[in-house]
Chain A
Amino acid sequence: MSENRPENKKKKQPLSDRRKFILGMARSVGLATLGGFVWSAYVDEVTAAELLLRPPGAIKEDDFLKTCIKCGLCVEACPYDTLLLAKPGDHKPLGTPYFVPRDMPCYMCPDIPCVPVCPTGALDESSVTTDGKLDINIADMGLAVVDEESCIAFWGIQCDACYRACPILGEAITIEYQQNKRTGKHAFMKPIVHSDACTGCGLCEKACVTEKPAIHILPREVAMGRAGDYYIKGWDKKDEQRLKNAKEIKTTTELSKRKASDKLNGDLLEGLY
């Protein structure tokens, strides 16, 4: 360092090519890092949209975002103009397909024209195929959720608009009869959604008569919880099978060093005297 000092003092000396190159590269790398972070932050924000309904056959959202090429072929294939491509200003991952059931639900075409046209496999044909045939009834676009507070059937008014609109009539939504104890004279006819049959097409949401729909579609990931492996239904052989997945977790603390029985037999009273 000390040898270099006199040279540095001569301010007019031009930079050496090597120094120029190093400084130039450092500047480029620095600018790239700066731009990269801004860019990443932006991309992170615009791809975070949980409440989004995808076309039938869409793969998991994380994979969807990397696989969808945003070509709009599914949108063009849809005969009902259900599917839309996210525009700037829609606050959805830009250019990806989605639908808004209250505006236009999925009419569950048996030939599912939107799925086979996908060039990248972001819409996965095999996920809507049973026995080699396209089967829209196994699609998983979302799940209908009933708000019992605003659903007029839960007030005691007879309304089965959603039940009638459901394309899988009597399976995805059933009507449960119950005594209306408030009036003591009438029956409730409550719509109950069954998650194993519901495809999330949104025809019920479109049909709902309330001002803001009392039944609406949420993405399955958002609408459903998960019990995990620690709880099973009692007296249910099939559900007991899930125990196979359960792993033992052994928690070891200071207290675990001694057995509980020792505590009871021996030194239970020790601390007291």
Chain B
Amino acid sequence: MKTLWNNYRYLFFRRVTQISLLVLYFGANAWGWKMLQGNLSSSVILGVIPMSDPFAAMQMLAAGAIMATNLLVGVTVVVVFYFLIGGRAFCSWVCPVNMVTDLANFSREKLGINKIQGIKQPASRKIRYWVLALSLIISALMGVTAFEFVSPISMVHRGIVFGLGFGWAAMLIIFLFDLFVLKNGWCGHICPLGGFYSLLGKFSLIRVQHYEENCTLCMKCKKVCPENHVLHMIGKESLPVLSGECTNCARCIEVCDDDALGFSIRNMAKNKKTGE
């Protein structure tokens, strides 16, 4: 029991965070709760603190919208928050699509699809930055927020809070894509919001730290990591995971039986390294 808890503790907290955020948003629309109103595009905490999706704001800017002060304050709040806790912490702790893609990944492993497709992925993880650039270009040319009109993230989240319509189809498309076409396809390759938070995450403070002296090279961490290229230092060097593409999901930390991975703060991690 203790090992079970040890191996899934962060996953448990992530699911609790993801689901309780959904419940709070849902309650705001259904029963008029004031804790968290709106949705992931823009929301208000306790009727006071605004939060707005910085990537949506960038598209608005590209489309030529006039930026309201309230929106800019909301964007600042979100940017500062994810600067502190790690850019793609959004992806693994907040985004509802994460549950869909994690399920796809789990099923992929269980069904043995990974075995028939081999390890080499047929697509580049850089696609997300192309999609990111493209969404800004299309926003500018068409004068609308291009990604916001196709985003399965807001479709799913809005769907859960305000009524789903055919939004379930978006979830199913992502699930099938991740299951049969590309491992970690949506979150790890295509999603421009993940790309945006990767760029933001390059500078963020909380990082995963590897302690090479404890590592037994079991490679469980690399197997479980949805962005396993960020763990290039495993068994080689005691380094923090500095790539912004790390989602701080902490799966690597909890599956490690040898205390070779843990959370740290960027500068402290650096000092430790120079201290050695």
Q: Which residues of A contact B (CB under 8 A)?
A: 28, 31-32, 35-36, 39-40, 42-44, 46-47, 62-63, 65-67, 69-73, 75-76, 84-85, 87-90, 93-95, 117, 119-121
Contact = CB atoms under 8 A, between A and B. Distances in A.
A31 B189 CA distance: 15
B191 interface: no
Given A73-B37, A119-B44, 8 more contacts: A36-B137, A47-B142, A47-B149, A85-B158, A87-B167, A88-B167, A95-B149, A119-B70
Contact of A76 (B37, B57, B170): B37
B60 A43 contact: no
Nearest to A47: B144
Contact of B150 (A42, A73, A75): A42
Contacts of A39: 134, 138, 146, 150
A39 B64 CA distance: 19
A75 B42 contact: no
Contacts of B29: 72, 75-76
A207 B92 CA distance: 49
Residue in B68, B154, B167 whose Cβ sees the most chain A Cβ within 10 Å: B68
B60 to A, nearest CB: 6
B41 A87 contact: no
B145 A119 contact: no
A70 B158 contact: yes
Contact of B65 (A67, A75, A93): A67
A65 B143 contact: yes
28 contacts: A32-B134, A36-B137, A39-B138, A39-B150, A42-B150, A43-B144, A43-B146, A43-B149, A47-B149, A65-B144, A66-B60, A66-B64, A67-B66, A69-B57, A69-B145, A70-B154, A71-B39, A72-B38, A72-B39, A73-B42, A75-B29, A76-B28, A87-B162, A87-B166, A88-B165, A89-B166, A95-B154, A120-B60
A101 B197 CA distance: 41
B165 A119 contact: no
B63 A72 contact: no
Closest 5 CB pairs of A and B: A87-B165, A71-B42, A66-B63, A89-B166, A88-B166
